[in-house]
């Protein structure tokens, strides 16, 4: 696999049984790359190992006053230089390629998993957790993958050099060969503590960053009302805590580097002492002594890889674990049993008795906004419940579209038939044209949808913000989540997007809650006109929207209690009147007294209605 061939056309099916297994799966999938990297690494290390020989050769040649052998040493250095340069460069290239291909593969797997899980994802794991895998963990996994072959090459090279030295010069070579394992393993016991401290530091740093970004995010509030000093003080404390944790961590690393100077130093002293005695007694050449000394200093570099691989593994294992946690998620929704059906007809929910006749604009009023949200979700079929408390809800019979149970057809077919726009639809980043380019029937143009959703002011705002200054709002980028637009503008753009889709049945949950009254009346008329002859359901509590619907359904505590048009319901149904006109208690009481209807809706668990009835009693008294 080369970098230029990325991304993978298919990142494969990962082994998600555990973190280490996932790492193994990644490694197995790039076996060729790992072997290449290992070979080049070996070449590099052995090339470096050859240098001391030339140093010794040159010194000995000079002692022996041999110009020819000195030239030979020079030739050897050039040859080794080429070997080292090629080996090092290619090792780097292949190891980094392993890193990038592994990272790209994991990113692709994450992208596919999140797209597959859709709305189910954040019900199982926190959104932040998934993003953290992408921003932090992938890098650590890649590090391990990259370090693996380099470590293997270094370890192999060390063995080869030790054996070579022992053969070349048994007396001194054995000393080096015996010392190597000690040098390789000496710092390992210190590493767990060092990495733990590094983790603590990272965690503290993460908290400080969070505090800072939180303060900045709320800066307008702070500047408007005060409290800057409170938050600055808090951040300063967090920042100083990070500093202290970092210094604590640095203490360990400083100790480790001291050990890394001490042990090789002791080896060098022994070599000099013992080697000089041998050379004095004429048992070895002076050049050989220099070779062994020089080799011992150069062996420190491959030794560092022992430390690196231990750290890489200790960091990447939990990272792989977290990645596996996300990648092993599945949708709990039931399997499709009916294939190839395009349902059409009335939308009916047997659980509540809610019926939206085909081709009509039905508005639904719920006393409890959360209940409205759940009911809207149900209407789309394949509702994700996630937690166990909702077993009852999950067991409820499926919503039917034209008599076809939506839960039984494939998810994609159900979403194509019924589009549920939730309370807080997200505007995906991109230009306006890209935003409105969604799978659709193709019958509703973007212009028609924008007009129906009364987006003229959004268009002019976007045209003004247009970076290219050609003033084309369709080509203007909408900032992330539409933050540069007001709540009402965002809501109308989301509505336009749903209208463009033009599904068989469109379910809207409070589509105009943030839109001002002036505009809302026009939006309601726009929806009714554009969706003429198509099935539309809107959950709402605003009279301006309700008035535009063909029929209005009042749902109370999970059951349909009245079906009529807005004006009639307003006259005849006090519970409806209470929700829709937002009468306060005194007004409601007055109305009740006049109409002779005794009961206000039974107080629910929230405080507001409970307080209402108390106040009402006081009022009457």
Partner 1 sequence: MIGVAPPAYDPAAPESATTLPVGTPTTVRSYVRSLLRRHRRAFTVLIAVNAVAVVASITGPYLLGGLVEDLSDGVTDLHLERTAAIFAVALVIQVVFTRSMRLRGAMLGEEMLADLREDFLVRSVGLPPGVLERAGTGDLLSRITTDIDRLANAMREAVPQLAIGVVWAGLLLGALTVTAPPLALAVLIALPVLIVGCRWYFRRAPSAYRSEAAGYAAVAAMLAETVDAGRTVEAHRLGGRRVALSDRRIEEWTAWERYTLFLRSVLFPVINATYVTILGAVLLLGGWFVLEGWLTVGQLTTGALLAQMMVDPIGLILRWYDELQVAQVSLARLVGVRDIEPDAGDAEVGPDGRDVRADEVRFGYREGVDVLHQVSLDVAPGTRLALVGPSGAGKSTLGRLLAGIYAPRTGEVTLGGAELSRMTAERVREHVALVNQEHHVFVGSLRDNLRLAREGAEDAELWASLAAVDADGWAKALEKGLDTEVGSGGFALTPAQAQQIALARLVLADPHTLVLDEATSLLDPRAARHLERSLARVLEGRTVVAIAHRLHTAHDADVIAVVEDGRISELGSHDELVAAGGAYASLWRSWHG
Interface with partner 1 in residues 129-158 (CB under 8 A): 130-131, 134-135
Work out whether strand 400-401 and strand 559-564 pair parallel, antiparallel, or are unpaired.
unpaired
Q: Any contact of residue 294 with partner 1 (CB under 8 A)?
A: yes
* Interaxial angle between packed helices 286-298 and 300-327, expressed in degrees from 0 to 180 and rounded to the nearest 10: 20
Size of the site for partner 1 (CB under 8 A): 173
**Cα–Cα distance for residue pair 404/399, rounded to 1 Å:** 8
> Which stretch, 2-10, 176-184, 443-451, 527-535, contacts partner 1 (CB under 8 A)?
2-10
Choose between 21 and 304: whose C-beta lies nearer to partner 1: 304
User: Candidates 14-22, 102-110, 166-174, 344-352 — which segment interacts with partner 1 by CB under 8 A?
Assistant: 102-110
CB 549 within 8 A of CB 357: no
Look-up of token digits 């006393």: 367
Token representation of residue 427: 């505007």
d(CA 304, CA 184) in angstroms, rounded, equals: 8
**406 vs 411 by CB, closer to partner 1:** 411
Could you say whether residue 35 binds partner 1 (CB under 8 A)? Answer: no
Q: Pick the stretch among 74-82, 143-151, 308-316, 395-403 that binds partner 1 (CB under 8 A).
A: 74-82
95: exposed, middle or buried (Cβ count in 10 Å: 0-12, 13-18, 19+):
buried
Q: How far is the CB of 186 from partner 1 (least distance, A)?
A: 13
Residue closer to partner 1 by CB (options 134, 353) is: 134
Only segment of 179-187, 206-214, 531-539, 556-564 that touches partner 1 (CB under 8 A) = 206-214
Draw the binding track, 519-558, toward partner 1 (x: CB under 8 A; -: no contact): x-x-------------------xxxx--x-----------
Query: Is the Cα torsion angle 49, 51, 55, 57 positive or negative in sign?
Result: positive
How many angstroms separate the Cα of 608 from the Cα of each of 363, 391, 544, 601, 603?
25, 29, 24, 12, 9
Q: Return the SS3 of 29.
A: coil
Q: C-beta of 190: minimal distance to partner 1 in Å?
A: 13
Residue 591 contacts partner 1 per CB under 8 A: no
- Options 39, 239, 328, 565; binder of partner 1; rule CB under 8 A: 239
Q: Which of 20, 27, 74, 386 binds partner 1 (CB under 8 A)?
A: 74
Cα of first residue to Cα of last residue in the chain, in angstroms, is 83
Tokens 């072997």 identify what position?
Answer: 35
The nearer residue to partner 1, 391 or 605, going by C-beta atoms, is 605
Q: Quick one: 159 or 261, whose CB is closer to partner 1?
A: 261
Does 448 help bind partner 1 (rule: CB under 8 A)? no
Q: Out of 371, 422, 451, 472, which residue is the one contacting partner 1 (CB under 8 A)? A: 422
Q: Is 590 in the site for partner 1 (CB under 8 A)?
A: no
Decide whether 226 or 442 has the Cβ nearer to partner 1: 226
Contact between residue 537 and residue 356 where contact means Cβ atoms under 8 Å apart? yes
Q: Is residue 483 at the binding interface for partner 1, with CB under 8 A as the rule?
A: yes
For 350-366, give the secondary structure using H, E and C: CCCCEEECCCCEEEEEE
Q: Which long-range contacts (CB under 8 A, 24 or more apart) does 212-215 make?
A: none
Residue from 32, 35, 111, 433 touching partner 1 (CB under 8 A): that is 111
**Which of 32, 163, 167, 228 lies at the binding interface for partner 1 (CB under 8 A)?**
228
Of 570, 574, 575, 576, the one binding partner 1 by CB under 8 A = 570
Other beta carbons within 10 angstroms of residue 483's beta carbon come to 9
């Amino acid at each position: 696999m080369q970098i230029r061939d990325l991304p993978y056309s298919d990142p494969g099916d990962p082994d998600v049984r555990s973190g280490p297994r996932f790492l193994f799966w990644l490694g197995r999938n790039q076996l060729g790359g790992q072997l290449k990297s290992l070979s080049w690494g070996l070449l590099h290390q052995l090339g470096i190992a050859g240098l001391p020989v030339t140093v010794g050769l040159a010194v000995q040649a000079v002692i022996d006053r041999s110009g020819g052998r000195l030239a030979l040493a020079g030739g050897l250095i050039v040859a080794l230089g080429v070997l080292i340069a090629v080996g090092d460069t290619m090792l780097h290239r292949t190891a980094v390629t392993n890193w990038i291909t592994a990272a790209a593969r994991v990113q692709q797997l994450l992208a596919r998993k999140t797209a597959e899980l859709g709305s189910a994802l954040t019900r199982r794991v926190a959104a932040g957790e998934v993003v953290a895998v992408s921003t932090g963990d992938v890098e650590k996994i890649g590090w391990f993958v990259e370090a693996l072959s380099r470590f293997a090459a270094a370890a192999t090279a060390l063995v080869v050099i030790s054996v070579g030295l022992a053969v070349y010069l048994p007396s001194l070579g054995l000393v080096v060969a015996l010392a190597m394992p000690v040098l390789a393993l000496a710092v390992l016991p210190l590493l767990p503590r060092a990495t733990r401290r590094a983790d603590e530091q990272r965690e503290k740093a993460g908290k400080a960053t969070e505090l800072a970004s939180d303060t900045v995010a709320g800066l307008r509030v702070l500047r408007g009302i005060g409290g800057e000093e409170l938050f600055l003080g808090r951040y300063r404390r967090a920042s100083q805590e990070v500093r202290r944790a970092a210094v604590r961590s640095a203490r360990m690393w400083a100790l480790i580097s001291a050990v890394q100077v001490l042990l090789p130093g002791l080896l060098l002293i022994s070599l000099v002492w013992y080697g000089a005695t041998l050379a004095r007694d004429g048992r070895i050449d002076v050049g050989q002594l220099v070779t062994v000394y020089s080799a011992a200093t150069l062996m420190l570099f491959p030794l560092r890889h022992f430390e690196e691989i231990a750290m890489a593994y200790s960091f990447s294992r939990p990272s792989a674990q977290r990645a596996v946690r996300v990648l092993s998620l599945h949708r709990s929704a039931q399997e499709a049993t009916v294939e190839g059906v395009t349902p059409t007809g009335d939308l009916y929910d047997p659980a509540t008795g809610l019926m939206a006749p085909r081709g009509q604009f039905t508005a639904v009023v719920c006393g409890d906004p959360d209940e409205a949200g759940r009911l809207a979700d149900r209407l789309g079929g394949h509702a994700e419940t996630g937690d166990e408390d909702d077993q009852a809800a999950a067991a409820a019979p499926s919503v039917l579209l034209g008599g076809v149970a939506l839960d039984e057809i494939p998810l994609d077919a159900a979403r194509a038939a019924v589009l549920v726009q939730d309370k807080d639809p997200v505007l995906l980043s991109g230009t306006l044209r890209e935003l409105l380019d969604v799978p659709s029937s193709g019958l509703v143009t973007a212009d028609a949808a924008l007009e129906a959703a009364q987006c003229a002011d959004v268009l002019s705002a976007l045209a003004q913000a247009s970076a290219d200054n050609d003033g084309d709002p369709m080509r203007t980028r909408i900032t992330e989540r539409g933050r540069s637009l007001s709540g009402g503008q965002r809501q109308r753009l989301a509505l336009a997007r749903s209208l463009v889709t033009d599904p068989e049945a469109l379910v809207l949950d409070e589509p105009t809650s943030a839109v001002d009254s002036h505009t809302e009346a026009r939006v309601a008329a726009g929806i009714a006109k554009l969706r003429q002859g198509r099935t539309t359901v809107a959950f709402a509590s605003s009279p301006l929207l309700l008035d535009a619907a063909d029929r209005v359904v009042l749902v109370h505590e999970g059951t349909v209690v009245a079906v009529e048009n807005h004006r009639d319901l307003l006259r005849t149904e006090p519970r409806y009147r209470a929700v829709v006109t937002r009468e306060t208690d005194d007004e409601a009481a007055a109305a009740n007294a006049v109409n002779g209807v005794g009961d206000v809706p039974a107080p629910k668990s929230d405080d507001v209605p409970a307080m209402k009835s108390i106040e009402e009693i006081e009022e009457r008294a």
